[in-house]
């Protein structure tokens, strides 16, 4: 897959607590059919075998639909399944981490929480996109530090790469974040916690029309 930049739109993040193992790929497929433009594989289990199997199957699915797959916090797994990118948290940001991943031809996303300076540093090192949140109360991370809405405007004025917003985003409050400068809305439970995953994804995808 040859893509120059992160596609704008719905960015879904998998959750092993919400997606049944026996329906893992088909559930993510429903999100893509509903309009997801980016998929991040996020799994905190200790089973390397399961993680490889799921990530490999997801990458085949994403290749079919021409949707990039980002692997959370695991560059080795990303390389094994030929994923398009790796997402790093603050604790994963060693001085040369981004440069090494870019050299290996990965997109690199960085969680910046509520820190504009961290985003600026990440972009200077070559980050492909930066993520901010939690903007609203999040069922996935209830203890996350709240992020003021105006941070999107601050970041939009100072950097040029895509900005991803995350945390408690609903189809009702998501449009505000898009209007303030978010290029992508990262959603977990708002899509995968719903009985109709395709319809839930579509309700977010419409915010970008």
User: What span, in angstroms and rounded, lies between the C-alpha atoms of 162 and 156?
Assistant: 9
Q: Each residue of 35-52: pLDDT tens digit?
A: 999 999 999 878 999 999
* Residue 4 belongs to a domain: no
What pTM, to 2 d.p., does this model score? 0.95
Span 159-173, average pLDDT: 96
Contact assessment for residue 164 and residue 182, using Cβ atoms and an 8 Å cutoff:
yes
pLDDT(82) > 70: yes
With pLDDT > 90 as the criterion, what percentage of the chain qualifies? 80
- What SS3 state is found at 73? coil
More confident residue, 49 or 141: 49
Residue 21: inside a domain: yes
- Please report whether residue 3 resides in a domain: no
Report the CATH number that the domain containing residue 194 is assigned in CATH: 3.20.20.70
Output 173 or 145, whichever has higher pLDDT.
173
Q: Look at residue 147 and tell me if it is in a domain.
A: yes
Mean pLDDT of the chain: 93
56 within domain boundaries: yes
Judged against a pLDDT cut of 60, whether residue 1 lies above it is answered with: no
Q: Could you tell me if 115 and 93 are in contact, meaning their C-beta atoms sit under 8 angstroms apart?
A: no
Residue 2 lies in a domain: no
| Tally of domains within the chain | 1
Q: How far apart are CA 194 and CA 57, in angstroms?
A: 22
Asked whether residue 1 is assigned to any structural domain, the reply reads no
Separation between Cα atoms, residue 26 and residue 36, nearest integer Å: 14
| Assigned domain for 28 exists | yes
Structural domain containing residue 181:
9-208
């Amino acid at each position: 897959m040859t893509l120059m930049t992160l596609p704008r739109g719905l960015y879904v993040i998998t959750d092993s607590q919400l997606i049944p193992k026996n329906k893992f790929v088909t559930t993510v497929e429903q999100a893509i059919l509903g309009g997801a433009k980016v998929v991040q594989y996020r799994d905190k289990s200790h089973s390397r075998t399961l993680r490889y199997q799921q990530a490999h199957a997801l990458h085949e699915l994403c290749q079919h639909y021409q949707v990039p797959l980002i692997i959370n916090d695991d560059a080795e797994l990303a390389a094994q399944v030929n994923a398009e990118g790796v997402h790093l948290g603050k604790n994963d940001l060693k001085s040369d981490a981004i440069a090494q991943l870019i050299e290996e031809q990965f997109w690199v996303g960085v969680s910046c929480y509520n820190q504009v300076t961290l985003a600026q540093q990440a972009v200077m090192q070559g980050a492909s996109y930066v993520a901010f949140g939690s903007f609203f109360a999040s069922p996935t991370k209830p203890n996350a530090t709240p992020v003021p809405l105006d941070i999107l405007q601050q970041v939009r004025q100072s950097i040029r790469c895509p900005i991803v917003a995350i945390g408690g985003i609903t189809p009702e409050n998501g449009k505000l974040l898009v209007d303030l400068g978010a290029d992508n809305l990262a959603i977990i439970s708002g899509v995968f916690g719903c009985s109709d995953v395709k319809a839930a994804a579509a309700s977010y995808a419409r915010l970008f029309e």
